[in-house]
Amino acid sequence: MATVHRIPPAPQPQLYRFSPLDFATLAMYVAIAGFFTVAGNLLAPFLRQVAPSPAAASYAVNLLFYGSVGILALLAARRVMARDLKVLATRPWFTVMMVPAAVVAMLILTAIVVAIGGEVQTSENQAGLQQLMQQVPAWLMVPVVVIVGPFVEEYIFRHLLIGKLSRRINIWVCCALSVVLFASIHIAGQEAITLTALLPYLAMGATLVFVYVWTGRNLMFSYFVHAAKNLLAVVFIYAIPPELFEQIQQVPA
């Protein structure tokens, strides 16, 4: 009889049972994201009245969203974080070398899938984030875009959707679900959802899913990769003058 090879279970399986705090964090994430996706345009006039500028209003919304969900996610995942950091500490050179290697692999995969798609389309989410970073100083954006945001997304889309949900559903189904939902949430609210807008996020999600599973479902490793990729994007945007950045975006691929 043929032997079926399966991914071995992660150590300390009790860390991969859903807790009430997991459900509360997920519910808050879905509720806030859904609210701003559906009613964001209705809320915009009010935010413009209470905020000194549209950029300040957008930043406040992102800070409130990721800050509130991030606190719950941190409390819910604190034991897994401690375990995963201890594991990575036993192989420091692996972490130091493989995080940038994974980012490079992500960029290469993104370039390939975008080239296959034949057209570069910037999602509204990405365009809005780029515009926001051109108006808000880096020291305010880094905590949201590089530190808190990636942690919330890795907790939701990797730790919950793969690490915990795979106890009930086939892990490859969970991986596919993670990639698709991760990409979809980043273009939510667009008038038309297109494959060309999805492709970069599908490539990013696939890379993060791979490193998460490959490292034994290590949440902190996938978080470091995600944070490093976002940090690279932040440095790129802030290092290029706004005028030159707009010219680069207007050049047809």
- Weakest mean pLDDT among 10-14, 75-79, 227-231: 10-14
Residue 153 annotated to the active site: yes
Q: Is 186 among the residues known to form the active site?
A: yes
Is pLDDT above 60 for 210?
yes
DSSP-derived secondary structure for 124-149 = HHHHHHHHHHTTS-HHHHHIIIIIIH
Q: How confident is the model at residue 243 (pLDDT cuts 50, 70, 90)?
A: low
Range 71-91 average pLDDT: 95
Percent of the chain with pLDDT over 90: 52
247 pLDDT tier (thresholds 50, 70, 90): very low
Catalytic member of 153, 154, 159, 226: 153
> What is the number of residues in the chain?
253
**Structure confidence at residue 202 (pLDDT):** 93
**Range of weakest confidence among 33-37, 237-241, 247-251:** 247-251
**Catalytic residue (one of 119, 186, 243, 246):** 186
Of the CA atoms within 13 Å of residue 157, those in its CB half-sphere come to: 30
Residue ranges of domains in the chain: 16-250
